[in-house]
Each structure stands twice: as structure tokens, then as C-alpha cells.
Structure 1
Amino acid sequence: MEALTQRLGGRLGRHMDVLLAFAVVGIISIILLPVPPGVLDFLLVINISLSVTVLLLTLFTKDVLEFSAFPTLLLLLTLFRLGLNLSSTKLILGQGDAGQVIQAFAGFVTGDSYIVGAVVFVIIIIIQLVVITSGATRVAEVGARFTLDAMPGNQMAIDADLNAGMIQEEEARKRRLNLQREADFYGAMDGSSKFVKGDAMAGIIITLINLVGGVAIFVGQKGLPFGEAIDRFGRLTIGDGLVSQVPAVLVSVAAGILVTRSASIDGLGDDLGRQLFSKSKVLLVAAAVLFAFGLVPAFPTLPFFIMAGLSALTGWQLMKSDDGTAAALASEAAAASQTPSQPAMDTQVTAKQKDLLAIEIGYGLLPLVDTTTEGGDLLERILMVRRQCAAEMGFVVAPIRIRDNLMLHSSAYQILLRGSVIAEGEIYPNRFMVMDPGNGTFMVDGIETVEPTFGIKALWIEASEKTSAELHGYTVVDPTTVMVTHLKETVMTHADELIGRQEVQKLLEEVREQYSVVIDELIPAVMTLGEVQKVLQSLLREGVAINDLGTVLETLADYGSMTKDTEVLTEYVRHGQSRAIVGKWLASDGKLHVITLSQRLEDLIHSHIQKSLQGSFPALAPEVSNQLIGDLQAQLELGSLSADQVVILTSPRIRAALKNLISGSLPKVPVLSLGEIHHRVELVAVGMVDQHDY
């Protein structure tokens, strides 16, 4: 039976849009087509059932977003009630009968006098219009206004939590969506409440039409005595009005409950029970007051005494519970204070860990973080930098915390890695940076500076000079772009320091579904997680992306059992990714322009290679090393005149050692080995360094 129910529910869920379309068309049909009394009875029961269900749903709803479809549902239920009103009116005026449901309401409520029923009907209309609908409309209006006003601040709070690492990007996206949905909900409720008010007014008009029109038709055309006509149509009119307005009141109450409650962890019943009966003193005082009322001679004694007894009993039970809780807390505190190995002060001391990545800014740069001001998009731009770095490097950079530092100059900023400054710069929020792609001469006035990322001469100009600078062909960028470009370059340069064991473990979990076999074979039987991390760090240190993690793991699984030397394993991995590595350094003509070393010089370097904890280094004399680096730099400068990309090409045996040697002086110069060059790559030699005086 349960399986059948789930199957039926799943099918209904898949076709709910079709069922909704048929339901709307059906509502329009009952407005236009005649409805027999039996069918009308069934539709009226459906209307009452839906109204009760909606009311109960609002009572068990914990958040307004759980019932975000309520405004649209309110419109459909209002349209449904109006269609039923019109159908019952046609039956009342045409046949003098409207089915058993309306007759039952008329007989049960009016009793022997339809005047009593009319009074009850009017009171229900007043309650719905003046109290419930009017209040719910006002609450929805204020809620929509405050939600929209608070949205920028809430979005800033979400961005701050994201950059602080308190939440992940998926959670931030979910919170932003909920903010938008909540604003849309209150805005829709503000308008949909007008449907209920219009429905009540239409109910009054239809009721008057039924009474006056029915009496006139049956007295004037069918010769029914006036007194009998008044009695019959008075009852039918009141019954029809009550059948329509009782469900309307239920839905109005549901709307009021939904817009007047705030989001909470528990349902409305749990909240009321916990908050209404939480204070024992309040209940005991209430019991005394009720008991005093019971002693007044004019008041009924028994009801007041019963309520006073219930309040006193409840308050006494709460007091016992509070005393037990307080005693338990006191005993725990005493036990803690008597424990010699755990001093009381230790419970208030927490470790303060440094952020992996952080940006400290002067107070003059705070407008760049404020999303309510023009140009305050630094948080969003930093998120874009993290996305770009993830796409280019192959792993997600940890969230970057932004904080102000009053010790800095107002326009200065610093980029910190584990609390240490690794880059810094100065920008002017109200100016633009101008760079000349030519000879570095400027035809505009400004503050001289150096672009922090690439070290190019630049100027900070006023915003009014921007158009003139662009007409001169200068590159003009805003201050936020200067900072985030510097940030991205810094992150890419220190990528190897940003990937730890935790990040490696997360990467492996992300690709486990695709490479579960190789991961299980590799870790921990062949290599440890730390050894895999060191290989990935070595790749990132030379700008090799690790977004093809499958190939990396396959290579390590093949050669990890043969050697534990991280440097050697890195060379094997580089060979496996040779196409991607070499393709990155091809010049614009599609060829690889290289500077080579003579055979004698390679033999010299190879004969002096020594191993250390930091890798292989050629133990050459200082003057020899300086001469080698100077010659390489000179050849690179000559080669850059003929090609936009130039690399150093060596034999595999010295590639890692030579890269380690020049990394301090030429950190961005790539060093490739012959084993990494595919046979289809066309090489162009633009220079050679020989041994000569070494």
C-alpha cells in the first residue's frame, strides 16, 4: 500500500502542471456552464477541504519560503469561490434550490430565524474585512518594504561570510536566492491580499442579488406568496453566503498566520508552547488573579476556580523543572571547579589561527567593499578571481578574508599569506590608473606610480581626465581592477603554498567517482597523501595546472612503487602532461622558440648536481652561477625580439636542477626538457649558451 501511494504521488508530482491547467480551465467552465445541484455540493465540499488544508499547512510551516506558492494559491481559491458563488446564484434564481450543502448551512446556522443567520453572515464579513484581511495586508506591505530595504545589507553579510570562509559558495548562492524569494513572497502577498478583500465585497453583492432577485422572480413570475418567498430565499441566501465566506475566512486566517510569523527552527505550535508557558512566575500570578475574580459575587465561581487551578498546577510544574535544571547546572559547575587538571580559565581560551589568505586595506579603501556605493564590487571581484584561479590551476583557493588596518596608509593594501605580507600596493579609489603600452611617456597629468603586478610605469589620473587618456591610446583601468589583478597574479605565484593535505583530500574526493580504482591503488599502498601533495606543489610551483588530476594519479601509480623521490616523480608527471605544458609556451606563430645549452655546459651542470631537502641544485662556484644566469638573461632578451614566447630547453637530466638554480633571478622563465617535446612540435632555436670561461 505504501509503495502504491509513493508511486501515485510521484506520478501526480510529474504531471502537476497539467493537472493545474485542467483545474484552472475547470474553474472558468463552472462560471460559464450550468452546474447541477449534486455537482455543486461536491465542488463546495472540495472548496471547504482545500481551505482547511491551507490553514493547517500554515500552522505547520516553519518558514514562509516553505509555502512560497501561497499568493498564487490564494488567487486560484478566490477565483474558485467566485465561480461557485455564480453557479449557486444561477440555481437559486432559476430553481429556488442550491443543493444539500447550502441547505444544511442555512438550517444549522439560522435555525428558526434567517435574521440570526443574516447577523452572523454580516459579522463574519466584518471580521474578515476589518480585522483579518486588513491586518494581513498591512503586515505584508511592511514586510515587503523592510525585506527590500534590508536586502543590500543581507547580501553584504552573505559576501562577508563567504570571504571569511564561514560558508561555502553553494550556501551563499542558496542564501541569496532565499533573500530574493522572500522579497518576492511579501510583495506578492501585499497584492494578493486585495483578492480576499474583493472576494468579500463580491460576496455581499451576490448575497443581496440572491435575496432581492429570488423574491422578485418567484413572487412576480411564479406567484409564490411574499412571506414564503422571503423565508425561502432568506435561508438560501444566508446559506450560500456562509458556504462561501467560511472557507474565505479560513484562507484569510491562513494568510495572516503566514505573514505575521517569523522563521524559526520549530513549528508555530512548538514556538507558542515554549514561549507562552515558559515563565512559572507568570502562571502563578495569573492563577492568583483568576482566583480573585472567582471570589467576586457577580462572576461565575466554578469556571474561574478551574482556570486558576490549571494555571497554578502548570506554574508549579514549571517551577520544579526550573529548580531541577538550576541544580544540575550548579552541580556541573561545582564539579568543574573541583577538577584539578582543568583550571576554570582554560574553558575561555581558544586558539587564534591565522588566515591562509587575507587582504588588509587602509580606511580610505573601505568604499570598495561597501556594495551600496558605486564601485563597491571588491567582494564580487575577489570571488571572480577565485573562480578564475580554480579554472586555471585546477583547485579551489581558500576564501580570502578582507579586513581594515588602521596602521596602513589610507590608500594602501597588503596581501597576506598565513599572516605574512607577500605583496602590497597603493590605489586611489576616486582615480584611474593609466599605463602606456608604448615608450612610457604620458600626455596627461597625474600622480606617478608603478603598476604593482607587472612593474610598468603608470599614472593615477582624475576621473575627468579618463576620456582624454583613452583618446591618447593609453590603457585606463579602475582601482579595483588594479587590486584584483595584483591579487590574482600573487595567488598564481604562490599557488604551491595554498594547496595542503586538506585541499588534496578534497580534490581526491571530487574525482573519486571517476578515478576510484587508481586512487584506491595509489593511496596509501603506493604513496601517502603527503607525498602526492608534494608532487602537486612541485607542479604548481612551475605554473603547471593540476586540472588533469586523472593523468597525474595514473602516472604516480605507475612509478610510485619504483621511487619515492618527489622530484623524479614530478618529472614523470610532467612527461605525462607534456602536450599541455608545451602548448602553453608556443609562440603566436605556433612554434616553440628555445634557448639551449651546449653539451659541455650541460655536462658541467650535471657533474655538480647535489640533492637537498629543497630539491636538486648544481653546486657551482658563485661566479660561475652568476655568469650562467647573466648569459641566459641576455639570450632571453635577444630571443624576445623575434618571438613573444621564449623558453629554455635542456636535457631531462638537468632540467629540475637548472630551474631551481635560476628560480631566484628568473622565476617566470620556463625550463622544459627534450623529453617533454612532442614530435609534432616545431622547434626554433633563437640562442645558445656555451661553456667558454666556466
Structure 2
Amino acid sequence: MKPSRLSQLAVPIGVVSIVVMLVVPMPATLLDILIAGNMTGAVLVVLTSMYVKRPLEFSSFPSLLLIATLLRLALNISATRLVLTDGFAGNVINAFGHFVIGGSLVIGLVIFAILLVIQFVVITNGAGRVAEVGARFTLDAMPGKQMAIDADLNAGLIDEQTARTRRAEIASEADFYGAMDGATRFVKGDAIAAILITFINLIGGFAIGVLEHGIPVSEALSKYSLLSIGDGLVSQIPALLLSVSTGLIVTRSSDSDDMGTVVSRQLGNNRKALQIAGAGALGLCLVPGLPKLPFLLVGGALLFMASKRKAAEAVEAAEAETAATGAQAAPAQSDEDALRAELAVDPLELVLSPDLVSLVSGAGADLLDRVKLLRRSLATELGVVMPPVRTRDNVSLPQSTYAININGVEVARGLAPAGTALAIGDGIDGLPGREAREPVFGVDGKWIPVEMRGQAELLGATVVDRSSLIITHLSEAVRQHASRLLGREDVAAATKALKRTHPVVVEDLTPALLSLGEIQRVLHALLDESVSIRDLVRIFEALSVAAKGGTDPDRLVEAARAALAPALVAGQATAGTLDVLTIEPRLQQTLLESVRPSEGGAQLVIEPGLAELLMSGIAEQFTTHSAQGSKPVLVCAAQIRMPLRRLLRLSLPGMAVLSYPELAASSVSVNALGVIDDVRNLVP
């Protein structure tokens, strides 16, 4: 049989055998073997408890404790059966009884009682209390630990696999301490059972010996007391060892090394403590009547350890001085590295005026925590991992002002006066405060004192705190400039991650057909139109097909959009309905005839007056229907979609432009809002 198979069967067979022992009589020789194995196993458990670095490395301990307790009780029952039937329970129990009692029943009972007190009153109660408190604290700390893992994951400090591993460790830790809290009850119950079994053996054996076998009272008392005490000792010594193991496991507070190494290092590292303890031991030699030799040996040993520690400290100081000298020997390199670090441009910065620093430090500061949550939200929405946001103050900023920089260039700025909140909506005219405009949606509002928040909400206004306002502004800035935050390294990392799950898709595309730079250019174009690149599998598959016919950027972008068409259209729809603006056919034909290729992609080469009228007509329709609560989308022929989008990008950046094939690939309902049909004015 294979060792792995044997190890799987060992525990179930052992448990069944223990149950059998509770019923079936056992010969004295086999009982001796099992008692010896029980004692050796208890020693092994104690040593294992001392050498593990973390309690979870011995996660089977609670179950093992239950099995060991059941084995001891089974051995007690088997020994009791032999004591009461044969008056002999094996050589091990007989030897323990003779050795401890020493010819005196009183001595045996006293020693046995002391062992029970040590186990039941001291070790078992202490271990049970520590296990109970440990289980309670572990469960109370679980939410905080889970939040810390989520924060590290959102900040990009760990990956998803590491987060899952840490969560599993936290769950296992809680299960372990909860199990230990229950397992200590087994140890306490075992100690009580040992007392009862010993007295049952003593009284029952004495009664059987005198009444059934006719043994004289003194002989029966001597014989059965010897066997009862011996049986109690061979069961209580392993029980005591397991109780100690329980205490060692639940009191471990360090996972850096095993217990022996940690204790010796912590006790032997303090030279002054060793010197004082050694001098105190030698001072006790001066007390009249005390023996000199024991204290001389102990004190001398401690002073010797202190001298060895002094030499070790001298060596450590010399090594530290050498390291410091080496660090000073190359200041130019360190200065150069520091200068280069200062010259590096952070991808994303949040710059605060000095009076806004309290948002990121101090009591109640939650801005950085919200930034971490924002990273995860944007990664899910756009498919781009937002770089860590560097937060710093700038005294040159006006008071209550914050600025958002991307690659060292300011892209947005706003106000967040201290002690205020932004109230938006009707009914705020009567509230005190300063008029303001919400920076993302451009709605009118008012900065009101924080104390007036409840009153503003009663009036029907929406109240936004300063941290929420900054986070909303930051998220919108990242959405608008997502392509600037997607660097070549980010594309390489995303491609590498995709290769682990879809190797064929990646190998078919790069580097054979497209370079990383060309892929990055396509992804930038998609992000510029607020298209999520989260589904890289579909994008890479579409690019693999399209790139075989050429590497024209516009053509590759349209191929990627075609693959994502259902998601694109669904993202623009509201409740399954898409609000559509179309272009009159003759006007559309005029635009088709004006498409010309250029270095920056296809462009609409039309007269300035025509272009102005076209943009104003689309803007008028877009503004009118948006004010009515619709979300208009312009739909046109595929050949002019990209050039038309470039034309409208500056005047209507928030308007989506779809092609007819993209619309046909979706199953949403279409609500036709209007037609751009002012052909009489547009066509010369």
C-alpha cells in the first residue's frame, strides 16, 4: 500500500480501534504497549508545539487533542476492567504505582492530587481562558483584517491571488482559535474524569478484593491503591503534557521562529538584565545559612553569558560602523539616484492647498481610503488600472483649492472650503453660504456650513461632502484622460496577464502581426471614446483578424469596436432603449464624399461654413434632447464614424458616435429622437 494511502487510513482505523477498546477486553501486554505509545505521543505533541512558528502550522491540534483524550479514556476503561477482574493491569501501571507510592498510600494519593491540581487548576484553566480570549479577539479582528486586504488590493500592492490566500488564512485562523476554545473543554473534562476513574478503581477494587476474593483488608487496600494510583499516573502524565501543549499553542504571539529560538534570543539579548540577575544570585551567597555553591554556579553562569553578549555587541557595532562608512564612501551615486527620483514625473497627482491637508491626515480623514476604492471601481469600468495617486500640498495654490495633475500637467482644478459641504438642488436659496458650481456636471450649488447639512437635506437638496466632491472630480478626470494613463508598461503587463489565461490569442497577435506600440495606439483610441478595454480577449481576437489586411490605425480601431459592439451599444442605452439621432441620407452622402486620408487618420474635408453648420445643428439637437432627460447618440455610416467623431470631439466631447453595423449587432430597442437634415442650408 502506498504511504499516502496508508496515512489516509491511519486516523480512521485508529478512531475505530479506540471505540472497540471501550467495549472489548484487552490483554495486559497490549495495554502496556498502548500506554507507552500514548506517553510517547504526548511528548511528541509537546515538542511539535514548541517548534512550530505559527499556530496554524499545527492546525490539526484541536482534532488531535480530542482523539488523544478519547484514547486516554479508553485506556482508563481497559485498565479499570483489568484491575477489577484480574487485580493486575500490566507491568507499566504496576511499576508506576510502586515507584510513586514508595510503600505509602498517603504519598501516592498526595502526589496524584498535586498532579491533578497542576493540570486542572493551573494549566487547563489558564489555557482555556487564553483560548477563549484568543477566539473572541480573532473573530473581532476579522472585519478589520479583511478591509486591510481589500485596501491593499485596491491600491495595487497585492494581486488577486495573494488577496485570496490572505483571506483564506484569516478564515483558517478564526476556525482554528474557535476550535481551540472548544478543545480546551475536552482537557478540563478529562481531568475531572481522571479523578472519578481513580476513586472508582480504588473503592471498587477494594470492595471486590474484600467481598468477592476474600483478601484481607490491609492487603486489598495496598494492592488496589497501588494499581489505582499507577493507572491514574500513566493517564495523567500524558494529559498534563497535552495541557501544556494547549497552553503553548494558544499563547504563541510570534511567528518569526520556533519557541526555543525566540525565548533564548529575547532572554539572552539584554546584557544589563543578565548582569543584574547574576550579581543578585552572587549576593544571596552572603545571606547566613544559605548554601553557597548553587548560587555561585547560577550567578557565575549568568555573568558569563553577559560577558559573551558584550563581545557580540562589540562585533555588531563594528559591523554597523563599517556599513555606515561604506554608505558614505559612495555619496555621489546615492545623490544621483535621489536626484533622478525627484525628476521622475508622477502619472497622477492630487495637489492640495495647505488648508486641505486635513482631508488626508488626521482624525476622520478618509480621502486616501476613497482613492483606493476608486482604483478598483475604475479598473472594473474602464479596464485600466489607475496608477497610485501621489498626494502632496502646494503653498502656491489659493486657499481651499485642489488640482489634479496627469503626467505633470494640470487637467482639473476645484474648490473645497474647510468646514463646508456642497448643497445642490432646489430650495437652497435661503441657506447661508457661497454660490458655487459643481465641477463635474456643472450644476449650480452652494457651499453651506457642515452644521446646515440636515436642514438642506430636509429642503430636498443633495449635500456632497468635500472628500466625495474631490473623488468624483478625480474619477471624471481619469475617465477623460484614461488614454494618457495607459503606458507601454501597462500594455505589456496586461498582455502578459492575458497570455497566462489565453496564450493562443496573444501569440497569434503579437509580435507577429502588431507590436505593443501599435496595440497601445488602438487601446488609446478606444479609451478616448470612453470605450472600456476590459475585454482584451475580444479586442485581441478582432485585431488578429484585422491586422492581416494591414495596420491602418482607424481600421484596427473599427475592428475592435465591432467586436465590442453589443457592449458599446448597451453601455449607451437606458433601460434597454437607445436614444438615436441620425443624419439625413443626402447630407450623409456629402460627408462620405468628403472623407480624405491623412497622417492623423481619416478627416472630413469640407468647407468651414458647412462644418460650422453641421456642428451647430448636431449640438442644438444634442442639447435640446439632453435637457429633456434623454441620452442622445449619433448614428451614421461606418465610413464616416471616425472622421465625424474627430470633428465633434472638441465641441461635443460627451456625445457618443456609433455606426449602423454596431447598432445592428445589438438587440436594444431604438428610439429615434430626430434627424440632422438641414440639407438646404448645408449643401452649396
Shift of 1:494: 3.7
Sort the Cα spacing of 1:387 and 1:346 in 2 relative to 1 into closer, same or farther, 3 A. Answer: closer
1:505 partnered with 2:492:
yes
1:327 partnered with 2:314:
no
Q: Which residue of 1 aligns with 2:250?
A: 259
User: Which of the residues 50, 53, 74 maps onto 1:62?
Assistant: 53
Q: 2-side partners of 1:482 and 1:655: how far apart?
A: 35
Shift of 1:671: 1.8
Q: Which residue of 2 aligns with 1:104?
A: 95
Q: 2-side partners of 1:227 and 1:679: how far apart?
A: 103
Moved more, 497-506 or 175-184: 175-184
What code does the residue aligned with 2:3 have?
T
User: Which of the residues 648, 651, 654 maps onto 1:665?
Assistant: 651
User: Which of the residues 517, 520, 535 maps onto 2:504?
Assistant: 517
Percent of aligned pairs with the same residue?
38
Q: 1-side partners of 2:308 and 2:251: how far apart?
A: 31
Shift of 1:30: 4.6
Moved more, 508-517 or 582-591: 582-591
| Equivalent residues in 2 for 1:77-156, closer than 5 Å | 77-144=68-135, 147=138
Moved more, 310-319 or 286-295: 286-295
The alignment covers a number of residue pairs equal to 669
1:208 partnered with 2:194:
no
Q: 1-side partners of 2:501 and 2:168: how far apart?
A: 31
Shift of 1:529: 2.2
| Equivalent residues in 2 for 1:456-535, closer than 5 Å | 463=454, 491-535=478-522
Shift of 1:499: 2.6
Q: Which residue of 2 aligns with 1:611?
A: 599
Shift of 1:52: 2.4
Shift of 1:541: 1.7
Query: TM-score, structure 2 length as denominator?
Result: 0.78
What code does the residue aligned with 2:528 have?
R
1:570 partnered with 2:561:
no
1:692 partnered with 2:682:
yes
Sort the Cα spacing of 1:151 and 1:676 in 2 relative to 1 into closer, same or farther, 3 A. Answer: closer
Shift of 1:238: 1.0
Sort the Cα spacing of 1:347 and 1:224 in 2 relative to 1 into closer, same or farther, 3 A. Answer: farther
Q: Which residue of 1 aligns with 2:383?
A: 394
Sort the Cα spacing of 1:211 and 1:543 in 2 relative to 1 into closer, same or farther, 3 A. Answer: same
Q: Secondary structure at the match of 1:48?
A: helix
Moved more, 131-140 or 420-429: 420-429
Shift of 1:248: 1.2
What code does the residue aligned with 1:547 have?
R
Sort the Cα spacing of 1:536 and 1:197 in 2 relative to 1 into closer, same or farther, 3 A. Answer: same
Q: 1-side partners of 2:494 and 2:554: how far apart?
A: 21
Q: Which residue of 1 aligns with 2:269?
A: 278
Sort the Cα spacing of 1:406 and 1:166 in 2 relative to 1 into closer, same or farther, 3 A. Answer: farther
Q: 2-side partners of 1:290 and 1:583: how far apart?
A: 83
Q: 1-side partners of 2:207 and 2:493: how far apart?
A: 81
Shift of 1:225: 1.0
Query: What is the Cα-based RMSD across aligned positions, in Å?
Result: 5.1
What code does the residue aligned with 1:326 have?
A
Q: Which residue of 2 aligns with 1:628?
A: 614
Q: Does the CA contact (< 8 Å) of 2:583 and 2:675 recur in 1?
A: yes
Shift of 1:507: 2.0
Shift of 1:90: 3.6
| Equivalent residues in 2 for 1:225-264, closer than 5 Å | 225-264=216-255
Alpha-carbon deviations, 1:470-507, whole Å to 9, x = none? xxxx9999999888776665554443234323332232
Shift of 1:512: 1.0
Sort the Cα spacing of 1:379 and 1:33 in 2 relative to 1 into closer, same or farther, 3 A. Answer: farther
Shift of 1:552: 2.3
| Equivalent residues in 2 for 1:372-411, closer than 5 Å | 386-398=375-387
Alpha-carbon deviations, 1:91-138, whole Å to 9, x = none? 323432323432233234444445443333222222223432333344
Q: Secondary structure at the match of 2:244?
A: helix
Alpha-carbon deviations, 1:576-630, whole Å to 9, x = none? 44444345446767678342261464157525x6534xx6655767665443221
Moved more, 680-689 or 597-606: 680-689
Q: Secondary structure at the match of 1:593?
A: strand
Q: Secondary structure at the match of 1:517?
A: helix
Q: 2-side partners of 1:92 and 1:71: how far apart?
A: 31
Q: 2-side partners of 1:281 and 1:239: how far apart?
A: 47
Alpha-carbon deviations, 1:25-60, whole Å to 9, x = none? 665665566555455445434533442232122112
Q: 2-side partners of 1:364 and 1:511: how far apart?
A: 41
Sort the Cα spacing of 1:340 and 1:128 in 2 relative to 1 into closer, same or farther, 3 A. Answer: closer
Q: Does the CA contact (< 8 Å) of 1:651 and 1:674 recur in 2?
A: yes
What code does the residue aligned with 1:249 have?
L
Sort the Cα spacing of 1:335 and 1:395 in 2 relative to 1 into closer, same or farther, 3 A. Answer: closer
Q: Unpaired runs of 5+ in structure 2?
A: none
Q: 1-side partners of 2:181 and 2:400: how far apart?
A: 46
| Equivalent residues in 2 for 1:448-463, closer than 5 Å | 454-455=441-442, 463=454
Alpha-carbon deviations, 1:489-547, whole Å to 9, x = none? 55544432343233322322222134323423543344332332221121122122223
Q: Does the CA contact (< 8 Å) of 2:209 and 2:220 recur in 1?
A: yes
Shift of 1:632: 1.1
Q: 1-side partners of 2:137 and 2:607: how far apart?
A: 73
Q: Does the CA contact (< 8 Å) of 1:535 and 1:569 recur in 2?
A: yes
Sort the Cα spacing of 1:268 and 1:442 in 2 relative to 1 into closer, same or farther, 3 A. Answer: same
Sort the Cα spacing of 1:6 and 1:427 in 2 relative to 1 into closer, same or farther, 3 A. Answer: farther
Q: Which residue of 2 aligns with 1:5?
A: 3
Q: Does the CA contact (< 8 Å) of 1:203 and 1:241 recur in 2?
A: yes
Shift of 1:362: 5.5
Sort the Cα spacing of 1:122 and 1:563 in 2 relative to 1 into closer, same or farther, 3 A. Answer: same
What code does the residue aligned with 1:534 have?
R
What code does the residue aligned with 1:628 have?
L
User: Which of the residues 536, 540, 545 maps onto 1:553?
Assistant: 540
Q: Secondary structure at the match of 2:582?
A: strand
Alpha-carbon deviations, 1:664-686, whole Å to 9, x = none? 22112122345645489898693
Shift of 1:218: 1.2
Q: 2-side partners of 1:531 and 1:215: how far apart?
A: 96
Q: 2-side partners of 1:537 and 1:604: how far apart?
A: 28
What code does the residue aligned with 2:591 have?
E
Shift of 1:249: 0.9
Shift of 1:223: 0.9
What code does the residue aligned with 2:239 have?
A
Sort the Cα spacing of 1:426 and 1:120 in 2 relative to 1 into closer, same or farther, 3 A. Answer: same
Q: Secondary structure at the match of 1:52?
A: helix
Moved more, 653-662 or 638-647: 638-647
Q: 2-side partners of 1:157 and 1:121: how far apart?
A: 50
Q: 2-side partners of 1:343 and 1:434: how far apart?
A: 52
Moved more, 402-411 or 656-665: 402-411
Sort the Cα spacing of 1:558 and 1:189 in 2 relative to 1 into closer, same or farther, 3 A. Answer: closer
Q: Which residue of 1 aligns with 2:525?
A: 538
Q: Secondary structure at the match of 2:682?
A: coil
What code does the residue aligned with 1:542 have?
E
